[in-house]
Amino acid sequence: VKKRILLLAGGQSGEHEVSLSSARSVLGALPQDRFSVTPVVISKQGRWLPASASQQALESGAAEEGGELMLHEAARAEGYDVVFPLLHGPMGEDGTVQGLLTLAGIPFVGSGVLGSAVCMDKIMAKAVLASCGVPQVAYQLATRPEWREEPQRVIERATALGFPLFVKPANLGSSVGISKVRAAGDLSSALDLAFSLDRRVILEAMTRGKPRELEVGVLGNDTPLASPVGELRFDAEFYDYHTKYTEGEASMHIPADVPREVAARVRELAITAFQALDCAGLARVDFFYVEESGELYLNEVNTMPGFTTTSMYPKLWEAAGWSYADLVTRLVELATEER
Ligand code: ATP
Ligand code: MG
Ligand code: MG
Ligand code: MG
């Protein structure tokens, strides 16, 4: 029998458009004899669009407004076997939608409330990972009230990390709002930008020199598997939004050309992180590898990674022999697995 999937896409975060292009891929690639997929697009204002408007939004690539607070027929357990919340960033990847679906009693793809929320907040995730010995760069937290009332303290903590450093909104993705700060004079504007997007900001020491960027896919629930390791290469100073989403700016290399023991360590750390953070279903775990010194740092865990047919996560599993349709089938199975 066909699995009835509700595909949620779009959403309120800065990654709205990215989510819609992942959703177009899922719709285009899934075999219609095995799945009946209903897309529901969430507008940038957080309203759920009915079928015709969702279809339009998928074609145009964005939904600014319109829709209802929540589509009654969409959030009902009877209508669907599984929900695939293909949403990135706040109000989608952060446990909010997962909480709604948990309350509604509908199985869904990916991590639950706890894993989603902790992974979305880079500070919380770092604290959990530090407690189990996962190597990470040095970092500091700053909050919006602190930036408003005692900016000098924030500047001092940042400066102590050394330059260049990275300033990031704690709960975002696609490099939105991230700055690489080369000198003290540029700190203030980087902090203003990050705080315009989030109440919580992470200040992060840069790796010594530009790191190689390795990514690995994790798939499963209680006994997850790690994919082959992939590498992203690009000329830009860091993997910013433009480099991520402009054709030809970055290239993917699978498997990554790294020593066997580095790849093994990456896969092992990815599984450790996935379990420590209470992830489920899928995650893409990103690492920095400093070739000269052999240092390896876990950068972050994405609980709903980019999912177009050419995105890293599906490509990593393709290298392990899983077609895009097999992968989605497996994710749907995992969503309903007894745990
Ligand atoms: P994603 O789209 O993967 O969710 P994101 O918005 O959560 O990304 P990060 O992965 O934290 O952002 O950072 C984006 C990029 O910035 C990294 O891929 C890397 O190129 C660069 N970067 C971030 N932090 C550091 C660091 N501490 N040292 C060196 N480079 C860094
Ligand atoms: Mg991220
Ligand atoms: Mg992300
Ligand atoms: Mg990243």
pLDDT at position 56, please? 96
Cα 239 to averaged position of ligand 1 atoms, centre (Å)? 6
CB 38 within 8 A of CB 76: no
Domain extent listing, the chain: 3-108, 119-135+210-335, 139-205
Decide if pLDDT at 243 tops 90: yes
Provide the annotated active-site residues.
15, 174, 245, 284, 286, 300, 302, 306
Nearest ligand for residue 209 CA: 1
pLDDT tens digits for 205-235? 999 999 999 999 999 999 999 999 999 999 9
Site residues for ligand 1, CB cut-off 6 Å? 137, 166, 168, 172-175, 178, 204, 206-207, 211, 213, 238-239, 286, 288, 299-300, 302
Q: Which atom of ligand 1 is nearest to the CA of 306?
A: 2
**Would the pLDDT of 259 be above 90?**
yes
Surrounding ion ligand 4 within 5 Å at CB are: 286
H/E stretch holding 324 reads: helix 324-335
CA 239, distance to chain mean position in Å, is 14
Mutate to test the pocket of ligand 1, among 122, 238, 297, 298 (most ligand atoms within 8 A of CB): 238
Going from the Cα of 158 to the center of ligand 3, the distance in angstroms, rounded, reads 24
Write the single-letter amino acid at 146. E
Q: What is the pLDDT of residue 1?
A: 84
Secondary structure of 81-143 in the HEC alphabet? CEEEECCCCCCCCCCHHHHHHHHHCCCECCCCHHHHHHHHCHHHHHHHHHHCCCCCCCEEEEE
User: Which value does ipTM take for this structure?
Assistant: 0.98
Domain 139-205: CATH class, spelled out: alpha beta
The pLDDT score that the predictor gives to residue 198 is 95
Tell me what the pLDDT averaged over the chain comes to: 96
Tokens of 134: 């996962």
DSSP string, 164-215: SEEEEESS--TTTT-EEE-SGGGHHHHHHHHHHH-SEEEEEEPPSSPPEEEE
| Fold of domain 3-108 | Rossmann fold (3.40.50)
Whole-angstrom Cα distance, residue 264 to residue 229?
Answer: 9
pLDDT for position 159? 97
Specify the pLDDT at position 135: 98
Q: How far is CA 270 from the centre of its chain?
A: 14
Ligand nearest to the CA of 176: 1
Closest ligand 1 atom to 210 CA: 29
Structure confidence by residue, pLDDT tens digits, 129-174: 999 999 999 999 999 999 999 999 999 999 999 999 999 999 999 9
The Å distance, Cα 261 to ligand 4 centre, comes to 23
For the segment(s) 119-135+210-335, the CATH number from 3.30.470.20, 2.60.40.10, 3.30.1490.190, 3.40.50.1970 is 3.30.470.20
> How far does residue 262's CA lie from ligand 4's centre (Å)?
19
pLDDT value of position 75: 77
